[in-house]
Chain A
Amino acid sequence: MKDRIFALFIIFSLASFLLVIRLFYWQVIKAAELTALATNQRESVIKILPSRGKILTSDNFPLVSNQKAFLLFANPLKIPSEKREKIFEELSPLLLEEREATFSGEEREEILKKEIKKLKELFDIPNKVWLPLKHKISLEKKLEIEKLAIDGLGFEEEEVRFYPEASMAAHLLGFVGANLTGEATGYFGLEGYYDLELKGKKGVIIEEKDAGNFPIIGGFFNQEKVKNGKDLVLHLDRSIQLIAEQELKKGINKYGAKSGYIIIMEPFSGAILALASFPAYHPAEFLNYEETLYKNPAIAELYEPGSTFKILVMAAALNEAVITPQTRCEICEGPYKIDKYLIKTWNEKYYPDQTMVEVLEHSDNVGMVFVSQKLGKGKLIDYLKRFGIGEKTGIDLQEEVAFPLKEPEDWNEVDLATASFGQGLAVTGIQMARAVAAIANGGNLLEPHLVHKIVGEDKTLEVKPKTIRKVLKEKTTQELKQMMMSAVDNGEAKWAKPKGYKIAGKTGTAQVPVAGHYDKEKTIASFVGFAPVDQPKFLVLVYLREPTSSPWASETAAPLFFNVVRRLFLYLDLSPEEP
């Protein structure tokens, strides 16, 4: 009897022990997993993607907005292997890019084969229950795919950038692509520079749901609010931008140039009213274009400014009172020899005893050497720095570059002479535009800006004009304006000037340096100027790379400048000042 009781005791003890172990397994070891399973069953986690901020022109018209798009995904477990081949064949034509869909014949067959192969490879990945098949599918495409009624396919909403003005101001805008983790990220231009402001912050809603997947009102609810991206309101005037783009395209065709750009700036605030560059790309299809087109040449391409630079050197000399507009050149009777180099004028015409006003009118290199000698190396370098040459302007675009000036001890006499007429140093278009704006606005060097306001859901930040430093005296700028006006009225490009208006400006024809020497045929033609002279409303810089109809700026960049200016006078309602 005792043995039986003992045996029973052992059996019960063992059973209890096994029960305890099993309970320990579920309650302790598997606790986290089970809790997660239970939570998953009743709690739903919804991630809300923020809307990327819009980019608006000064009249609040969206240059970049957002459009609904869809991510197509598949659950491979619901798509049996034997049916996959047929499904891939039906699906692949609908997954082609817009450009690819227009192909026909063998080319189309080839692309479809590639698409099917891609799908097969995706479905061959083991143990996957969710496969992203295609991002940014349009609503029309989604409806077409839904018509196929394929079980195991689904859609998730996402957003895609939409450009109502198509490729207008593409170089300013930049584009949105995916970073290494697949997250939408802005690259180049405003999208790149203001990526943090534009992208916003994801939101999450965790809530309890009942068996019918409806939210339980008194249940657990936790919300991390989504923060949509901020909108950017630009100074950019889309009508002026259109004028610049239309005239630039016409100009490039007419003068057979390789490329070109036009900057239009408001000289008293540094606001960029337009910045057109060609050839350009379409930001919505950036992958179809060469990467070399992504950078904005007006801020990322360096060039030797040539004669447009003369106005800066002249300004420095006038400001230091080492010359006056009526000072006569003492070395202008012929070519001037420095070291082993002979400095000549562009047309080999020489004007002895000419005044400084005439030096600018004739765009005389020897006359500028005279000015630089009067100014001296130290002061010239100092003024170039004060004009912001060799430093970034701080414009709110991502890819700006600058080529620093040489150290003062590395400058020799020849460098000083060639710099006076814009050779031997490299600038960007925006640097030149900003420096000349300082002459137009009475001597203040400003930071150029595209964005006027950053509009958030709760706060609006206004970007105020920023003066970097005072470069010139008011009197100097008045004198120089008259000299530049005279250069327009009596210079090589006077034939193209609209009558009755007071315009200040200067042409620049620079040679293109190639492997240690200058190319004999290729030039960069530019023109920078502003109007009306007394109270400038705009500054325009025109740049044409390698024009073929004529190498001279007076026959290419200058007439293009005047065509733009003529339309701006009309648009801004500025009537002629003289009959």
Chain B
Amino acid sequence: MKEKNKNPKSTKLTFIFILLMVILAILQIVFANQEANAGRTLQRLEQEIAHLETENKLLEITIASQGSLESLKEKAEKLGFNQGQSILNLSKQKEVVLNFQR
């Protein structure tokens, strides 16, 4: 009985050691779990970025197609616009008016 009470320090140490082991084991599980979740999130974000990039490219292509001169010409013709056949230049008349004002 006396012998048993002799080593309370070593019992305490053993207990702390085991507790530490358990805590570390739990931490390991928690971190591993978090890491796995973060991996999933990372992959989802990467996929989202790739998807947005693809969407961007598609929009870029649509804008370019819609803005091409050939397409603009077609739209203008559909709306009833025609190429001007005669040109009237007013620049010389403007000078006459300015001279007159002086």
Contacts and interface: CB of A to CB of B under 8 A. Distances in A.
Interface of A: 61-62, 65-68, 162, 164-166, 168, 209-210, 212, 214-218, 238-239, 242, 500, 570, 575-576, 579
Interface residues of B, number: 22
Given A65-B60, A68-B57, A217-B35, A242 B69 contact: yes
A238 B36 CA distance: 53
B81 to A, nearest CB: 16
Contact of B64 (A61, A212, A576): A61
Contact of A570 (B54, B57, B87): B87
B40 A165 contact: no
B92 A579 contact: yes
B94 to A, nearest CB: 10
Contacts of A166: 68, 70
A242 B68 CA distance: 11
Contact of A165 (B69, B89, B92): B69
28 contacts: A61-B64, A65-B60, A68-B54, A68-B57, A68-B58, A162-B61, A162-B64, A164-B67, A164-B68, A165-B68, A166-B70, A168-B69, A209-B39, A210-B36, A210-B39, A212-B36, A212-B39, A212-B40, A214-B40, A214-B43, A216-B39, A217-B35, A217-B42, A238-B69, A570-B87, A575-B91, A575-B92, A579-B92
A66 B89 contact: no
A61 to B, nearest CB: 6
A218 B34 CA distance: 11
Contact of A215 (B42, B58, B64): B42
B28 interface: no
Contacts of A242: 69
B11 interface: no
Nearest to A51: B57
A218 B31 CA distance: 11
A239 B69 contact: yes
B38 A217 contact: yes
A216 B92 CA distance: 76
Interface in B42-98: 42-43, 54, 57-58, 60-61, 64-65, 67-70, 87, 89, 91-92
A95 B71 CA distance: 29
A570 B68 CA distance: 21
Interface of B: 35-36, 38-40, 42-43, 54, 57-58, 60-61, 64-65, 67-70, 87, 89, 91-92
Given A68-B58, A575-B89, A579-B92, A215 B39 contact: yes
B40 A576 contact: no
A554 B43 CA distance: 69
A570 B84 CA distance: 11
A165 B68 CA distance: 6
Contacts of B57: 66-68
Contacts of B64: 61-62, 65, 162, 164
Nearest to B69: A242
Contact of A61 (B35, B36, B67, B91): B67
Contacts of A168: 69
Nearest to A139: B58
Nearest to A62: B64
B65 A217 contact: no
- Most chain-A CB neighbours within 10 Å: which of B39, B70, B87, B89? B39
B42 A214 contact: yes
A333 B61 CA distance: 66
A216 B35 contact: yes
A218 B92 contact: no
A166 B71 CA distance: 11
A218 B35 CA distance: 8
Contacts of A66: 57
Contacts of A165: 68-70
B71 to A, nearest CB: 8
- Most chain-A CB neighbours within 10 Å: which of B35, B43, B58, B69? B69
A65 B61 contact: yes
Nearest to A66: B57
A168 B87 CA distance: 28
A79 to B, nearest CB: 28
A65 B56 CA distance: 13
Given A61-B64, A68-B58, 11 more contacts: A62-B64, A68-B57, A164-B64, A164-B67, A166-B70, A209-B39, A212-B39, A214-B36, A217-B35, A570-B87, A576-B91
**Can you list the 6 inter-chain pairs with the closest CB atoms, starting with the nearest?**
A214-B39, A164-B64, A575-B91, A164-B68, A217-B38, A215-B39
Nearest to A208: B39
Nearest to A498: B87
Nearest to A67: B61
Nearest to B35: A217
Contacts of B58: 68
Contact of B65 (A164, A212, A216, A238): A164
A239 B72 CA distance: 12
